Amino acid sequence: LAGNDNGDIIRQLEYRISRLEGVLRLNKMITESGGKIFATSGKKADFDTTMEKCKEAGGSVAAPRNPGENEAILFFVKSFNTYAYLGIKESLIPGKFQLLDGTPLSYTNWYLKEPSGKGEE
């Protein structure tokens, strides 16, 4: 990076980040909602690999907390014509679900009589 002024360096970094984000958006690899960035590699993986890759990237498996975040995840499902893992698990109480860290869910948008465990939640 050229320039001695911190302001110049920050502007250059912001420009480079913007360009990289643009490329990722073009390839449907990232989307945003409420200040959060949702990303995918576009590759299929099992849940454990998904958790590992998210952690390596400094994030976590997405768990929608509002309709906007739900739409961000749905963007990938539609773009790649596949399913998406969510950062949600069944609690010790059958039929009750929570975030992976044990926090109770404050938002759900499941179909009627879901989740059934049949992949159509």
Rounded to whole angstroms, the Cα distance separating 43 from 81 reads: 12
Spatial separation of the C-alpha atoms in residues 50 and 9, rounded to whole Å: 34
Q: Which residues pair with 96 in a beta bridge?
A: none
Report field, pTM of the whole predicted structure over 0.75:
yes
Q: 14-66, pLDDT tens digit by residue?
A: 988 988 888 788 778 899 999 899 999 888 999 999 999 999 989 999 999 99
Cis peptide leading into 67, omega within 30 of 0? no
pLDDT on residue 3? 56
- Domain borders along the chain are 4-99
59 Cβ contact partners less than 8 Å away, ≥ 6 residues apart: 39
Q: Which CATH architecture has domain 4-99?
A: Roll (3.10)
